[in-house]
Structure 1
Amino acid sequence: MSQGCDLSVLEELTSNAKQIQDDVLNKILKANANTEYLSRFLEGSSDKELFKKNIPVVSYEHVKPYIDRVANGEPSDIISGEPITTFNRSSGTSSGNQKIYPANNIYFENQLFGYALSSAVMSKHVDGYKQGKVMVFSFTHRISTTPCGLPVAPALTSFIKSKQYLSMAKNCTSPYEIVLCPDPKQSKYCQLLCGLVQRNEVVGVGATFPSVLVRVINFLEKYWKELASNIWSGTVSDWITDLSCRDSVSTILGEPNAELADLIEHECGGQKSWQGIITRLWPKTKYIETIVTGTMSQHIPALDYYSNELPLVSKVYASSEAFFGINVNPLSKPQHVSYTFLPNMSYFEFVEVDDDGGTTGEIVDLVNVKLGSYYELLVTNFSGLHRCRVGDVLQVTGFYNNTPQFRFVRRKNTVLCVDVEPTTEEDISKALARATVVLESSDLILTGFTCFGDISTVPGHYVFYVELKAKVNNGTNVLQLDNKVLVECCCVMEESLSSLYRRLRVKDGPIGPLEVRVVQQGTFDSLMEFFVARGTSISQYKTPMCISSAEALKVLEDKVLARFFSDKSPPV
């Protein structure tokens, strides 16, 4: 699984971070100094001090005109000395707008290197990791093209379809052809089928984002009878029409297996609860591999429930702009996850962030960050981005040799506001964690969540859509909602929000009582389908923490079962 990387590489990189960062910047500047973008500031020089002095810190919007020109057919050397080979499209579920980022072969080589090094770390911490297989649910999106014919796709799709990915695919339960299937339903079904047949080889289960994994479990609840029937007969369902899927699954499915079919029927249909269903169906699983930092933490209770609290492993920190770092303590608790930056990936700088979320203006190199401080991340990569804001706020938690480790705190921008209060992702995550404790005490688990600021009312107020599931099946599939429990959820969430929010939430104040709207089971599947139909990759789909799209809100609003409000002002 390590693709030639071993832990000595990690030691070398992290021990020599300053020199490696200087070398990376020198290499980037030498390759790009004569591009149209950089030549205005550097006049062909690759001097680091001139770079620091003259190159402006920019957001995506500042470089978008240059990116669009390349996408429309002008030469790559407008922004990059290395030919642009593809454009990575962001999911748009975090910011609301899809963006395209230039990428070249160095980007894909870096991705492979980062994942390979992460796998070497996993081998150290998980017994049998190299000998087993991982059942990772991956999906590819249809690739579109720019006006000049260059491919545009979500970053994960671009990587999966690159030659670099093939070596990683060998250790997965799903054949490469199934991952490439453009129909997510057929792909999901076939990936589950392959995983079930190879259940005794699976050491890890996962997906890039936990919302996808929770949706896969919901899909299994709907289709386990058909999957068991396929295994019992040794034939694939007729509706699997993708020939590559059929051929690949048929090879793995092999002869009829009544014993395995009976086991699936017993575990999925013969129990009162789906608690621990992952470990019951895949008994040798030692961890769940998915990103549970930041807004993704909302899915931790559901994953703990389905996996009997197996370790949740956030392996890597990467984006459409660059590969940033790896988790060198992969079995750490989600709240303790930190990423060790890899200094050979790109050139990294950091703008310090003060307590109010504003920047101090001081920019420091990777090795000069201070323990405990908060920073906004800037990246200069090999694909034409220079001192570009990524939009993530990180906190320095420690050092591995001479290289800092960072905790992902939040996306930079305020996500919720109905008056003047700046509510961040971190604020909402804290509120959600409090509500989850109340729900779990009543044997309910949260399987989906999002929110929006409703200013159609006076005063405006926060609305939280939640999808709930009973831990124990009462035989009716009807969710019993306790008014007292849900109102308490509203109250504890308000108590967890910022002091400014609480001051504004007084009686007759400018913010009204917080509202929880419980939606039907399956609603967040429908929400994902809504975004996927509009171009979001299913692999990169993250349930948006906050929604502003009227169309997306209608998907939720049409499935509301009940509404509950906070019945008292939070303590100031």
Structure 2
Amino acid sequence: MPICSCEETINEFEAFTRDAGRVQRDTLKKILELNGGAEYLKHFGLGGRTDVESYKSLIPLCVHSDLEPYIQRIVDGDRSPVLTGKPITSLSLSSGTTQGKPKFLPFNDELLETTLQIFRTSYAFRNRQSTRNVWSLSNWYGVIPALWPNAKYVYGIMTGSMEPYLKKLRHYSGHLPLISADYGASEGWVGANIDPTKPPEEVTYAVLPHTGYFEFIPLEKPNGDESENNASIHYIESEPVGLTEVEVDKIYEVVITTFGGLYRYRLGDIVKIANFHNSTPELRFICRRSLVLSINIDKNTEKDLQLAVEDAAKLLEGYVGSRKINTIGPLELRILRKGTFKEILDHFLSLGGAVSQFKAPRFVSSSNLKVLEILSRNTTAIYSSTAYGR
């Protein structure tokens, strides 16, 4: 993209964001004019209306399961105006990270254009910046610029589940700046990273008001819960507000209406309003609302797991060093026959012990020859660790 084209793109973005409220109304009108004949909109009696008030009062909020019957018809080859005025000729497939299985989502020429708009905008802001000189390679430090000397920066998804990899990525990228990718999902695009100088942990995304119609469900934390990056909180919801009605430092769930046939669709993303660029909000991604491992009353988020693994890695450092200088031998895993620990129990009882006092051994000393003999005799397979050795 030539320099002049970058400046034109930035000027266009500035113009769109100066009056984001008007652009949002125009964008919704355009979406509804294009898709007014869609079966989904007719079902709720929209009747060709294109104003914000009618749309919000007639069309309910939805999730993917609400649209599955309509999308499945498109998958099966139905070319009638199910979700959009024109037939859907392409479908994207989500990663399935949250629900455990991929989801089909409609994709059309208008969504392709919004994708290009997001890329053009963030590309223009990125290429305003200068880059540093290449550093020498040492212990894989700076391997990326060493392999690709013309690289100017490292660009990718660096929030959410990708955040744990930032430390390693910084090591490999050396002097190259890390630039967080723009904010989007299989359902559609939300915002562009217009300040690529920010570290990924602090990145915000300016919503492009002409790429879709956006609403935000205000979320209030229950009294006594001060945590922010917690997907397990049962938030108190209020009625959705418009793009220009959000408030800085408040938390919301994103709702989108797209050119691809998604109407008032709940993304399930929790965001915090960090600031405004002109009249459009800048969002900071907090977490996925539904990404929680729940076992009985215990609920663990992705962040909980990340912190647990990081703490465990710190505890492992001493072991790794000892293995490398061979002061500790490799771990050995032995597979035992079924009933082995019952045989150890029988041995314990033969010595006069009571069943109520028996505990399955977690450590067997070298002097406990009988138990060692039982374990060795019942071993069916042996595996030695090759990790951390020389």
Q: Where do 5+ consecutive residues of structure 2 fail to align?
A: 222-232, 332-382
Deviations 1:274-303 (A, max 9, x none): 232223333454421111111110111211
Alpha-carbon deviation of 1:410? 1.0
Which of residues 88, 101, 104 is equivalent to 1:100?
A: 104
Give distance in 2, aligned partners of 1:30 and 1:280.
52
Change (3 A) 1:334 1:560: farther
> Is 1:424 the equivalent of 2:301?
yes
Deviations 1:36-72 (A, max 9, x none): 1111221232232111111111100001100111221
Give distance in 2, aligned partners of 1:54 and 1:104.
25
Partner of 2:71: 67
Query: Normalized against structure 2, the TM-score is what?
Result: 0.73
Give distance in 1, aligned partners of 2:325 and 2:16.
56
Deviation larger for 422-431 or 10-19 = 422-431
Percent identical pairs in the alignment equals: 35
Counterpart of 1:103, as a letter, is F
Greater gyration radius: 2
Over 6 Å off, 4+ runs: 439-444, 479-482, 558-562
The answer to whether the Cα contact below 8 Å between 2:252 and 2:272 also exists between their aligned partners in 1 is yes
Give distance in 2, aligned partners of 1:346 and 1:480.
60
Partner of 2:49: 45
> Is 1:35 the equivalent of 2:57?
no
> Is 1:9 the equivalent of 2:12?
yes
Counterpart of 1:326, as a letter, is A
Partner of 1:21: 24
The SS at the match of 2:86 is coil
The SS at the match of 2:88 is coil
Give distance in 2, aligned partners of 1:307 and 1:388.
37
The SS at the match of 2:237 is strand
Counterpart of 2:9, as a letter, is D
> Is 1:276 the equivalent of 2:142?
yes
The answer to whether the Cα contact below 8 Å between 1:314 and 1:327 also exists between their aligned partners in 2 is yes
Within 5 A, what are the aligned runs for 1:162-311? 273-308=139-174, 310-311=176-177
Change (3 A) 1:276 1:362: same
The answer to whether the Cα contact below 8 Å between 1:297 and 1:429 also exists between their aligned partners in 2 is no
Counterpart of 1:368, as a letter, is E
The answer to whether the Cα contact below 8 Å between 1:294 and 1:408 also exists between their aligned partners in 2 is yes
Higher helix share: 1
Within 5 A, what are the aligned runs for 1:385-400? 385-400=262-277
Deviations 1:145-167 (A, max 9, x none): xxxxxxxxxxxxxxxxxxxxxxx
The answer to whether the Cα contact below 8 Å between 1:327 and 1:340 also exists between their aligned partners in 2 is yes
Deviations 1:165-185 (A, max 9, x none): xxxxxxxxxxxxxxxxxxxxx
Give distance in 1, aligned partners of 2:330 and 2:384.
15
Q: Where do 5+ consecutive residues of structure 1 fail to align?
A: 129-199, 204-265, 445-469, 483-557, 563-572
RMSD over aligned Cα, in angstroms?
A: 3.2
The SS at the match of 2:115 is helix
Within 5 A, what are the aligned runs for 1:419-568? 419-432=296-309, 438=314
Partner of 1:55: 59
The SS at the match of 1:318 is strand
Counterpart of 2:121, as a letter, is L
Give distance in 2, aligned partners of 1:481 and 1:330.
45
Partner of 1:523: none
Change (3 A) 1:421 1:52: same
Change (3 A) 1:441 1:307: farther
Change (3 A) 1:83 1:309: same
